[in-house]
Structure 1
Amino acid sequence: MSFERYTADNAALLLIDHQVGTMGWVRSLPFEEMKRNALMLAQAARILKMPAVLTSSMEDYAQGPLLAELADILPAAFDARVKRAGIVNAMDDPDFAAAVRATGRKKLIVAGVTNDVCTVFPVLSLVGMGYQVQVIADAGGSPGKLADNMALRRMEKAGATLSSTNQAIAELVGSWATPEGREIAQRLIMPSMPQ
């Protein structure tokens, strides 16, 4: 099986339900780590000029609004976000499915909250539709480690690739020597490393 790298020219970023309430339900990894990683992905997409699709579910309820930082990083995608009215599988929402198709990309980098509900079902649908999906495990999470592990295993078994934020960004960049690579290294990767 040959390896074809995910690049800004062939991939799109999908961020599913990075909402303040939903993220507060996660216990499989620390809130700040998950938030930092989701925002790093958004910033990388902006720097690399990669298509991004955002969605939220029931923002006026316990799930809460999307992270406010996403409006600063990806203003157009934030304004165009698909506000689902409680539909669990985002791909069952015609507007979200249309937004994914409109990217024109068959490779998708997906992060969502929670992995055991909001990420797993659209990923299963996307893989079934023939998309190549890379799930960023540390930019989402679940209410417990076991629930998160089960969701990640189910997605991987279905054909999704599991990855981490740094790994996905490094793959997208391809070379730290490019202007975009240098900017991402200096602004995103270096500051996120443990001191």
Structure 2
Amino acid sequence: MKSNLFSPDNAAMLLIDHQVGTLNWVKSNTLEEIKRHTLALARSAKETGMPLILTSSQEDQVQGPLFDELAAAVPEAFANRIQRQGVVDAMKDPQFAMAVAAAGRRNLIIAGITTDVCVVYPAITAIQQGYNVQVVVDGSGSPSTLADETALRRMEAHGVTLTTTNQLIAELAQDWSSPNGSKLMQVLFEEVLSKQG
């Protein structure tokens, strides 16, 4: 039986619109939690050689740039980020869609700000295009809990799998004693577990 597990060898990481202005609109989770989980996701991709695609929308407007810690953690992905000019559904932005296709992976891991605008549409579009999609709920957030929950229900109804950072990293690792597993455990400890109150 074929495994449906995502791994560093069969998945790509898409981080959408983790911008300083947009982050300020999120009330469904704390800014610190979202940043921690986003950094863990970005570093997990980087440490295991998984394709990592960052995108932003209208950086010169109220949304602002991607948050500094993300740019510092994955400078190469940051330099290559897809800067959209306002297309809400990133999968309908030609440059972004080309970057995703070029990664050559049918399994997509998505997190973004906000869940109810910037994540829901590309996640559903990707499913409709034949991708398998996991959305990392705690690396995302919305202006209200109701907005977040509604977007999550809508995505699930379209076949998106919902996950959390810890759950996803364990899925990618499968064995903490493997080379990728030990790298992922270190990332999880440094970015998430050691910083929990």
Bucket of the pairwise TM-score, normalised by the shorter protein: over 0.9
Residue 65 (structure 2) pairs with residue 65 (structure 1):
yes
Q: Distance in 2 between matches of 1:61 and 1:48?
A: 34
1:165 corresponding residue in structure 2: 165
2:48 corresponding residue in structure 1: 48
More deviation, 74-83/147-156: 74-83
Counterpart code for 2:182: R
The Cα of 1:179 is off from its aligned counterpart by 3.0
Q: 1:188 to 1:81 in 2, by over 3 A?
A: same
Q: Deviations over 1:40-71 (max 9, x none)?
A: 00011111110011100011111110022222
8 Å Cα contact 1:166-1:189 kept in structure 2: no
Q: Distance in 2 between matches of 1:163 and 1:119?
A: 14
8 Å Cα contact 1:14-1:111 kept in structure 2: yes
Residue 86 (structure 2) pairs with residue 86 (structure 1):
yes
2:75 corresponding residue in structure 1: 75
Q: Distance in 2 between matches of 1:51 and 1:191?
A: 20
The Cα of 1:3 is off from its aligned counterpart by 4.3
Counterpart code for 1:34: I
1:139 corresponding residue in structure 2: 139
- Equivalent position SS for 1:180: helix
The Cα of 1:2 is off from its aligned counterpart by 6.0
Q: Distance in 2 between matches of 1:113 and 1:190?
A: 23
Q: Deviations over 1:110-140 (max 9, x none)?
A: 0010000000000110000000000000100
| CA RMSD across the alignment | 1.5
The Cα of 1:183 is off from its aligned counterpart by 3.0
Residue 6 (structure 2) pairs with residue 6 (structure 1):
yes
- Equivalent position SS for 2:188: helix
Provide TM-score, normalisation by structure 1: 0.95
Counterpart code for 2:171: E
The gaps in structure 1 that reach 5 residues or longer are none
2:32 corresponding residue in structure 1: 32
**Residue correspondences, number:** 195
Q: Distance in 1 between matches of 2:191 and 2:160?
A: 29
Q: Distance in 2 between matches of 1:132 and 1:92?
A: 17
Counterpart code for 1:89: D
The Cα of 1:156 is off from its aligned counterpart by 0.6
Q: Distance in 2 between matches of 1:66 and 1:22?
A: 9
Q: Deviations over 1:70-104 (max 9, x none)?
A: 22222221111110111111111100000000000
Identity of paired residues, percent? 52
Q: Distance in 1 between matches of 2:183 and 2:79?
A: 25
Counterpart code for 2:55: T
